[in-house]
Structure 1
Amino acid sequence: MLEELPSVFLVGPMGAGKTTIGRLLAKQLGRSFVDSDWYVESQTGADIAWIFAKEGEAGFRARETRAIDELTQHQQIVLATGGGAVMRAENREFLHQRGIVVYLNAPVDVQMARTSKDKSRPLLQQPNPRQILQNLYRIRDPLYRQVAHIILPTGHTYPRHMVHQLLQQLESFLVPTAIDRATITTDSGSSED
């Protein structure tokens, strides 16, 4: 029955688990998994840090928008987007109109724990990465919420348990009364990720 679902698009801050959850979800659904950042890199032939250095954030965001427009037109995929993808209105529209958007909501402490040693994130190569994450969360959280059909907190349970919760919520989109895709929020358990 879940094979009838449209594509699933994951949004949320860096370190929320979009790639981990996306891969597990795609496996459960028997679908292809795509990461929009990796897609941009494969199309460009350069990594995100290089694109930021040479073209600035605006150049990267333009490439990201083209990628999201193209990828959201694919049928029955699981797509993990970059943390800043929601900053552009056209990206939010592509995502919200073309599939089911899941916001993986990770608190700043979870983001810090998961990204502290990652040197591949250009926005965090600053003296105070916690402050940057807090500022980004404050700006982007309302946009994630605006585009989301499902809001799933992360950092409180194991990824496989989160995918199980998510699959249950996705089933509700197969019920005719859920066609309007009201936003669903889930409380998660207390065990650690």
Structure 2
Amino acid sequence: MLNPQPPFRLGRTLVLVGLMGAGKTSIGKRVAQRLGVPFTDADSEIEAAANMTIAEIFARDGEAAFRAGERRVIARLLDGPIHVLATGGGAFMDPATRGRVRERALSVWLRADIEVLLARVAKRRHRPLLNQGDPREVLERLMTIRHPIYAEADLTVDSLAAPAEAMVERVLALLATWADANGIVDHPPEYPRSAIHEVA
């Protein structure tokens, strides 16, 4: 159920970026509910459009074909009504997708350290990239490649080994700061005015 009294109005779609295990889906669902907007998972939309799982797309068509489909699906979603969108870990790496996000949405990087990511993905064998070697080595390599690009997101919040609701509060506080700085809407005292643009 959507929150009938959100703490502030989301003026554009909120796009969550970050590595697998950063919490984009679990946190995104809760943030969307609190803000009274729908939640969409890009990977689920891609699977629905292809009528295959992401692992099957990778196996049959390769990563390049998957990324092309991902680009089309995200472009379509960004053209739709305002919502919270969780993207796959590689989506923001695509220059066209990154440009579309910059034009049409507000992006937040959920930044997590290696130990947090490993704990969250340890039992998830459905992620194609993790099946290409030792999970720690794969994630460290992805962090080296992707973190400089994720840093181009509008805002950054550290995704900690903390309850999901605590992380939701961190994201909402960050968004309240952005909303205030951009004159979007007044917000209640529990999300105080601040000059920060990053929650450490």
- Structure 2-normalised TM-score? 0.86
166-175 or 106-115: which moved more? 166-175
Q: Which structure 2 residues correspond to residues 34-45 of structure 1 after superposition, within 5 A?
A: 34-45=40-51
Q: Give the deviation of 1:162 after TM superposition.
A: 1.7
Answer yes or no: is 1:138 the counterpart of 2:144. Answer: yes
Q: Deviations over 1:128-147 (max 9, x none)?
A: 1211110001100011111x
Partner of residue 57, structure 2 = 51
8 Å Cα contact 1:5/1:173 also seen in 2: no
Q: 1:82 aligns with which of 77, 88, 100?
A: 88
Q: 2:12 aligns with which of 6, 9, 15?
A: 6
Q: Which structure 2 residues correspond to residues 138-177 of structure 1 after superposition, within 5 A?
A: 138-146=144-152, 148-175=153-180, 177=182
23-32 or 164-173: which moved more? 164-173
Q: Deviations over 1:83-131 (max 9, x none)?
A: 0001210111111221110100011111111111111100111331211
Larger helix proportion of the pair = 1
Q: Give the deviation of 1:175 after TM superposition.
A: 3.1
3-state SS of paired residue (2:124): coil
Count of aligned residue pairs for this structure pair: 184
Taking only the aligned residue pairs, the percentage that are identical comes to: 39
Q: Distance in 2 between matches of 1:4 and 1:13?
A: 24
Q: Give the deviation of 1:150 after TM superposition.
A: 1.2
Answer yes or no: is 1:185 the counterpart of 2:198. Answer: yes
- Structure 1-normalised TM-score? 0.89
Q: Distance in 2 between matches of 1:154 and 1:95?
A: 21
Q: Distance in 2 between matches of 1:145 and 1:105?
A: 9
Q: 1:178 to 1:137 in 2, by over 3 A?
A: farther
RMSD of aligned alpha carbons: 1.8
Q: Distance in 2 between matches of 1:45 and 1:132?
A: 28
8 Å Cα contact 1:36/1:67 also seen in 2: yes
Q: 1:109 aligns with which of 82, 104, 115?
A: 115
Which ranges in structure 1 are unaligned for 5 or more consecutive residues?
188-193
Partner of residue 70, structure 1 = 76
Q: Distance in 2 between matches of 1:168 and 1:117?
A: 31
Q: Distance in 1 between matches of 2:35 and 2:11?
A: 9
8 Å Cα contact 1:22/1:78 also seen in 2: yes
57-66 or 95-104: which moved more? 95-104
Q: Give the deviation of 1:21 after TM superposition.
A: 0.5
Which ranges in structure 2 are unaligned for 5 or more consecutive residues?
1-6, 185-194
3-state SS of paired residue (2:169): helix
Partner of residue 190, structure 1 = none
Q: Give the deviation of 1:177 after TM superposition.
A: 4.9
